[in-house]
Amino acid sequence: MAAPLVVASAPVVLAIVLGWRSPPPQQSAVAYYGWLIYFSLLVLVVTAFSWWGVKIFYQLTPQLEKMLSVAGRGAYDRWANITTATGPQLSFSMLFSVVSVVAIRVAASVPGMSQRLYVDQASYLAVLVAAFFIGGGVYWIVVGTTLSIVLTRPGHLILHWYAPAHTPGMELLSRCYRMGFYGSSVGVALCLFPLLAWAYDGPDSTLLLIVKIALFLTAATATSLIAVIPQWRLSAVVAERRRRSLEDINALLPDTVERVSDGDRSDPSLLAWLQVLTTTPATTVKESTVAGLLLGMATALLPYIIKILA
């Protein structure tokens, strides 16, 4: 945690050094230093969330390995070799940082914004550092979502035939995606808050309008990506395994009621298994999951709600 702390505090230190020679305007000083501290804390929050996400994923790894077929294990290894490499992660984070710095530069150049937003070298460094760490989080939202697609391809998972949704690896994987969604929702809200604070009630500008729309679409897409796709893919494979199990049991039972007689009763164990299977869920989504997803979406869009109602 020491390295992120040093990196996160660098913009504040730079601002203090620059302030000795050229202090910010008095009317902007509080907001200027306040936002620098905000972005420094944001780096630490993103780092903590990343550590938390990795911990949750590693806790499910043993059960996930038991649930994978040979083909599934091979697909998972290929995914891991590509996504955990330094190159893709570093490139994505650097690109995200550059785009963010360019965006703040363009926003600051809008006529009238200088009265609302004081920007100097420390400001750009704060955005650069925060965006680098946030970019890493966004990267894992994307590749984590692709993992759900990789794992749920035909023949990649081995689920309990009598209760697919209750396979330990499936339950833990579904929970991991829910936790990831909750964390990303909070992260999106924290990232949007300063941007919307600058963009709303600012000077009339087509550019700022585009920024507002882009931020809304980005927030909605990012949260929906990890909220919908993984649960949809996991639910689909659970439903398919459950359907095949029902067909297998039904094939062993009399095909019509007329064929059932007192002297020709089916194996009671088949009926017991059929009852067990029909009472198991056909999806990984529960009522609490839906409520959590709605709450997470509301959290991610909370900055918009505050600005609209303000």
| DSSP of 79-139 | HHHHHTSHHHHHHHHHHHHHHHHHHHHHHHTSTTGGGT----HHHHHHHHHHHHHHHHHHH
CA distances from 52 to 46, 48, 179, 184, 247 (A): 10, 6, 9, 12, 41
Say if residue 266's pLDDT is above 50: yes
Q: Specify whether the CB–CB gap between 215 and 195 falls below 8 A.
A: yes
pLDDT digits (tens, 9 = 90+) for 2-43: 777 888 888 888 888 888 888 888 888 888 888 899 999 999
The predicted pLDDT at position 82 comes to 95
3-state secondary structure of 264: strand
Interval 154-180 mean pLDDT = 91
Q: What is the distance between the alpha carbons of residues 301 and 192, in angstroms, rounded to a whole number?
A: 8
Judged by average pLDDT, the poorest of 121-130, 228-237, 286-295 is 286-295
Torsion sign, CA atoms 7, 8, 11, 17: negative
Assign 263 a pLDDT band (cuts: 50, 70, 90). very low
Most confident range, picked from 185-194, 197-206, 268-277: 185-194
Asked if 137 contacts 45 with a C-beta cutoff of 8 angstroms, the reply is: no
Four-point Cα dihedral 193, 196, 202, 203, nearest 10: 150
| Contact (CB, 8 A) for 138 and 218 | no
Which pLDDT band, with edges at 50, 70 and 90, does 180 fall under?
Answer: confident
Range from 20-34, 37-51, 78-92, 123-137 carrying the lowest mean pLDDT: 20-34
What is the average per-residue pLDDT within 110-138? 85
pLDDT of residue 289: 62
Mean pLDDT of 62-86: 94
Q: What is the pTM of this model?
A: 0.83
